[in-house]
Chain A
Amino acid sequence: MSFFIETLVGGLLAGVMYSLVAIGFVLVFKASGVFNFAQGSMVLCAALTFVTLRDKEIPFWLAAVITLAIMVAIAILIERVVLRPLVNRPQITLFMATLGLSFVIEGLAQIAMGASVHELDLGIIDTPVKFGDVQVSQFDLVAAGTAAVLVAALSIFFSRTRTGIALRAIADDPQAALSIGIRLQSLWQIVWGVAGFVSLVAGLLWGARQGVQFALTLVVLKALPVLIIGGFTSIAGAIVGGLIVGASDSLAEIYLGNLLGGSVSTWFSYVLAVAFLLVRPAGLFGEAPIERI
């Protein structure tokens, strides 16, 4: 029993890390209806910038602030150079633009900072903590706690405030939103800026766990089932989706791994996502079309 709980808790904590990446997608998707493929590159770029600064003996907090400034600058640049000229184009056009953008960001980041694997030490002690019979990774606990605080702050900011209202208004009817004077451009800058901030946090936590390397961009692929299960338009959905993906992946690995020849966690969540697409295409918290009878 304690082994089951240990697996479950480990999975849930890993799931919070997925949620962290997924939130960046949700924000941009709500504001512009675009699946931002460049989110993974932004995670890599943030982590790479931070380690490079740290390697130059720059103190932790200063490095974090500089990286954040760079990420926000990139976000504003993306809005100006990529999104603004493409306003009112079909979603697939914007999607392709973010796909191209991801290559540009990855390429530039590696030209500027090199492609070697860096180690990132956040100073979090990674000794397991014992709760009765159950052992939990301390690093995972800290990571999950950080993610939880960030997610809570973001969901308050994007629901109760005028930015939240503007964001949801744009998502519902862009033309009406423009006609009452909501500024799409400044909203996009805010959202991409926040997405940059989220990628910084995700980049640090994932980078500390796996090492800062090119493969960090692949966390995008794990965010996809999270979004399908939770719904593309809900921050709460990103959290719950992340928990489901994390928990089911690690449970499936342990309990189905032997039957199916291992490596179950690499594909299990995708199968789960397909099942959700069949049963509940809008996701658990997604905004299904409202029908009035």
Chain B
Amino acid sequence: MTEPILQLRDVSLSFKGIKALNALSFEVERGEICALIGPNGAGKSSLLNIINGVYRADSGAVIFDGARFVRIRPGHAAHLGIGRTFQHNALFRHLSVLDNVLAGLIRHSRTSIIEHAFGLARDRRETREFTRQADETLAFLDLTRHRDTIAATLPYGVQKRVDLARALVGRPSLLLLDEPMAGMNQDEKHEMSRFILEANRALGTTIVLIEHDMSVVMGLSHHVVVLDYGRKVGDGAPESVRRDPDVIAAYLGTVH
């Protein structure tokens, strides 16, 4: 068995005395889709923010790809191969869909500012290569017909997909999806699930996602972690988690 791609060890985080996360530990295996579930305020988004460095954990450690860190900056996390999407739309509103996706490749650029400023051969080659990769990702997520549309003018569900494309184009080894299906209708959710599954299978991307819709979670994920008030109350395969009495008490049994 290979080493897990992501391990959390006793991660705690509090905001002004309120414990958002309380000594949380779990592991994500390479290549799996792991769902984080739990009621609002359970600490799911805070957890993603710690993994990609938006927040700093008060204590505990995150081990990504064998490297242990307490604090990482979002830019550094991206360079290490941690991609993410956002719960609230965080697209570059005034940019076209293509430019949004191209932005996701900028960190892979290897040409110097001088080559870049004067449009020398190596820079032009790189630009062509980036455009090809971006177009490939757009085709993969069925976004080609929106290629030149300004992002802010697209329907909400399509914007969510552009967000996914922007994260996916840089080929992250770990992809964090913060409620990728929030506000979608059933058809859109099915479509999005299919794209997430395909990204996982075809590209081998490990995915950690937050989702509220239990039918989606059960159909999509290999592994479910349940949070409640910053504590872990369930961790395992979807079927076993669903039958766990603690989980039912904390989450599944109540109406949200």
Contact = CB atoms under 8 A, between A and B. Distances in A.
Given A166-B103, A179-B78, 7 more contacts: A162-B106, A169-B106, A172-B95, A176-B91, A182-B75, A287-B94, A290-B152
B211 interface: no
B50 to A, nearest CB: 13
Interface residues of A, number: 25
Interface string B141-157: 00000000010110000
A284 interface: no
Interface in B44-66: 52, 54
B170 interface: yes
B93 to A, nearest CB: 5
Contacts, number: 90
Interface residues of B, number: 37
Interface of B: 52, 54, 73-75, 77-79, 83-84, 86, 90-95, 99-100, 102-104, 106-107, 109, 113, 116-117, 119, 127, 130, 150, 152-153, 166-167, 170
Given A157-B117, A173-B91, A165 B75 contact: no
A185 to B, nearest CB: 9
B52 to A, nearest CB: 6
Closest 9 CB pairs of A and B: A181-B107, A181-B78, A176-B90, A172-B92, A290-B152, A178-B74, A169-B92, A169-B103, A179-B74
B94 A179 contact: no
Nearest to B99: A165
Contacts of B94: 168, 171-172, 287, 290
Interface residue SS majority, chain A = helix
19 contacts: A161-B116, A161-B119, A162-B127, A163-B116, A169-B103, A172-B93, A173-B93, A175-B74, A176-B90, A176-B92, A177-B92, A178-B74, A178-B78, A180-B104, A180-B167, A181-B78, A181-B79, A182-B75, A183-B107
Nearest to A185: B75
A292 interface: yes
Nearest to A166: B106
Nearest to B111: A162
A180 B100 CA distance: 11
A190 B114 CA distance: 11
A225 B36 CA distance: 52
A177 B117 contact: no
Nearest to A194: B117
B75 A168 contact: no
A183 B75 contact: yes
Contacts of A184: 75
Contacts of B77: 179
A168 B99 contact: yes
Residue in A168, A171, A172 whose Cβ sees the most chain B Cβ within 10 Å: A172
